[in-house]
């Protein structure tokens, strides 16, 4: 698995996320560490990126806008 850092600007703040890229025969997935949760980004049936957010037990809620900002960075980079 390839690892890299993803810079994202969200709500005027520059954030840096650790990403693992897993490639498969049919495509790829990005595993992004967000607030101690691993969120998976992958292509849906229409070819758009979607996020699979785990249910959190720590009470931390990942903001939808942050997910959208990460998808935008990925979309502009691919």
pLDDT of residue 60: 76
| The two three-digit tokens of residue 40, written as one number | 């998976």
Segments forming the whole domain that contains residue 72: 2-76
The H helix count followed by the E strand count for the chain is 1, 5
Distance CA 46, CA 64 (A): 20
Spatial CA neighbour of 27 closest among 49, 5, 51? 49
Rounded percentage of the chain residues whose pLDDT exceeds 90 = 72
Residue 66 has what pLDDT?
97
By percentage, how much of the chain surpasses pLDDT 70? 95
pTM of the model: 0.88
Place 4 in a pLDDT band, splitting at 50, 70 and 90.
very high
Count of domains observed in the chain? 1
């Amino acid at each position: 698995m390839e690892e890299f850092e993803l810079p994202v600007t969200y709500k005027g703040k520059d954030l840096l996320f650790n990403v693992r890229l897993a490639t498969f025969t049919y495509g790829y997935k990005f595993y992004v560490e967000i607030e101690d949760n691993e969120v998976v980004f992958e292509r849906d049936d229409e070819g758009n990126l979607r996020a699979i957010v785990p249910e959190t037990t720590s009470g931390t809620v990942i903001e939808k806008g942050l997910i959208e900002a990460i998808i935008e960075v990925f979309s502009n980079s691919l």
